Amino acid sequence: MLLNEYRILWILVFFDLPTETKKERKIAARFRKEIMGDGFTMFQFSIYIRHCSSRENMDVHIKRIKRILPEKGHVGMLTVTDKQFSSMEIFYGQKLADQPKISQQLEMF
C-alpha cells in the first residue's frame, strides 16, 4: 500500500502535569523522557508530536502512552492525517515559519 497524506498520521500529545513538589517534577520529567524515547518530538513545551506511517503504527504508540500515564495531571492525545497536519500555520512572533520536516521511515514487511 502506498504512503499518502491520508494514510500517514500524526499523534499530538498535550499534557499539563503538576510540578509543585520535587516528586511531581520527577514524575513529569520521566513522562517527557519516556515519550521522547518513543520517538515523540517537542512541538511546544507541553505538546509533543510523532509521525506514524500507518494506523497500526499509531495504535502501538497510543498504547505505549496509555501505559505510562502519570497518576495526576491532564494528558490529551489527538491524531490527525498528514494532510490535516500540513494545513497548520505556524508562527514565530509575526513571522510565518516553515512546516516541520517529515522524517520518512521505511518499513520492511
pTM above 0.75, yes or no: yes
H helices present in the chain, as ranges: 22-37, 55-67, 82-86
List the grid coordinates of 33.
523522557
Residue 3 pLDDT level (bands cut at 50, 70, 90)? low
In the chain, where the domains are located: 9-96
Nearest to 17 by CA among 2, 35, 1, 29: 29
Percent of the chain with pLDDT over 70: 84
One-letter identity of residue 51? H
* Cα separation values, 108 from 2, 61, 79, 95, 105, Å: 13, 18, 24, 40, 10
CA 41 to chain centroid, in Å, comes to 6
Q: Which three cell numbers stand for residue 106?
A: 521505511
CATH number of 9-96: 3.30.70.240
Cα gap 10→82, rounded to integer Å:
6
CA distance 16 to 44: 12
User: What is the tens place of the pLDDT at every residue in 5-43?
Assistant: 668 999 999 999 999 999 999 999 999 999 999 999 999
